[in-house]
Structure 1
Amino acid sequence: MRDAFGAEFEVPRGYLNTPSIGIPPGAVADAVAAGVDRWRRGADTPDDFDEAVALSRQGYADLVGVPVERVAVGTAVSQLLAPVAAGLPDGAKVLVAGGEFTSTTFPFAAQAHRDVTVTEVELAALPSALPHHDVAAVSVVQSADGTRVDLDALREARERSGVPVALDVTQAAGWTPLRLDWADWVVAAGYKWLLSPRGAAWIAVHPRALERTVPVVAGWYAGEVPLQTVYDMPLRLAKGARRLDLSPVWLAHLGAAVALPYLASLDPAAVHAHCAGLADTLLTALGLPARGSAIVALDADAEKLAAAGVIASTRAGKTRLGFHLYNTVADVEQVLDALGCDRRARPRG
Structure 2
Amino acid sequence: MTSISASEGCEKGLAPGHFAPETAYLDTASAGLPPAEAVTAITSALTAASRGTATVGGYFEAAADARARFARLVGVAPGRVAISASAAVHTGLIAQSLPAGSEVLVADGDFASLVNPFHVRPDLRVRTVPLERLADGVRPGTALVAVSAVQSADGRLADLDRIAAAARAHGARTLVDASQSAGWLPLDAGAYDFTLVVGYKWLLAPKGTSFLVVPEDLGGLTPVFAGWVAGEDPWGSCYGQVTRLADCARRFDETPAFFSYVGARHSLALVEELGVERIGRHDVALADRFRAGLADLGRTPVPAPGSAIVAVPGLGTAAGRLAAAGVRVSSRAGGLRAAFHLYNTAADVDRLLEVIAGT
Match of 1:75 in 2: 85
Residue correspondence of structure 1 range 172-191 to structure 2 within 5 A: 172-191=181-200
Asked if the contact 1:280/1:290 (under 8 Å) is kept, the reply is no
Name 2:207's counterpart in structure 1. 198
Name which of 218, 222, 225 aligns with 1:217.
225
Partner of 2:45: 35
Q: Does 1:311 align with 2:328?
A: yes
Q: Quote the residue 2:163 is aligned against.
A: 154
> Which SS does the other structure have where 1:187 is aligned?
strand
* 213-222 vs 43-52, greater mean Cα deviation: 43-52
Please give the alpha-carbon distance, in whole angstroms, between the structure 2 residues aligned to 1:335 and 1:6. Answer: 20
SS at match of 1:275: helix
1:118 aligns with one of 122, 126, 134: 126
Q: Residue 274 of structure 1 corresponds to which residue in structure 2?
A: 282
SS of residue matched to 2:18: strand
**1:104 partner SS:** helix
> Residues 5-44 of structure 1: matches in 2 within 5 Å?
5=15, 7-44=17-54
Distance 1:319 1:6 in 2: 26
Percentage of pairs with the same residue: 39
Which string of whole-angstrom CA distances, capped at 9 and with x for unpartnered residues, describes residues 200-255 of structure 1? 111010124x2521111110000112111101225421111111011111000001
SS in 2 for 1:120: strand
Asked whether the equivalents of residues 145 and 297 of structure 1 are also in contact (C-alpha less than 8 Å), the reply is: yes
Q: 1:345: which partner in 2? A: none
CA contact (8 A) 1:187 1:202 kept: yes
Q: TM-score, normalised by structure 2?
A: 0.90
Alpha-carbon distance between aligned partners in 1 of 2:213 and 2:270, rounded to the nearest angstrom: 19
Quick one: which amino acid aligns to residue 92 of structure 1?
S
Secondary structure of residue in 2 paired with 1:136: strand
The number of residues matched between the two structures is 337
- Which amino acid is 1:221 matched to? V
Say which of 251, 258, 277 aligns to 2:266: 258
TM-score of the pair, normalised by structure 1: 0.92
1:89 corresponds to: 99
Return 61-70 or 281-290, whichever deviates more: 281-290
Does structure 2 retain, via aligned residues, the 8 Å contact 1:84–1:212? no
Q: Quick one: structure 1 residues 6 and 340, their matched pair in 2 at CA, closer, same or farther if it must change by over 3 Å?
A: closer
Write the deviation string for residues 275-307 of structure 1: whole angstroms up to 9, x where unpaired. Answer: 011011101121146711111111322233223
CA 1:334–1:240: 2 relative to 1, 3 Å: same
Note if contact 1:3-1:9 (Cα within 8 Å) is conserved in structure 2: no
Aligned to 2:309: 295
Quote the RMSD (CA, aligned, Å): 1.6
* Cα separation, 2, equivalents of 1:264 and 1:335: 29
Could you list the runs of 5+ residues in structure 2 that have no partner in the other structure?
1-11
Answering whether residue 62 of structure 2 is matched by residue 45 of structure 1, we say no
Q: Does 1:55 align with 2:65?
A: yes
Amino acid at match of 1:296: V
The answer on whether the counterparts of 1:298 and 1:318 sit within 8 Å (CA) in structure 2 is yes
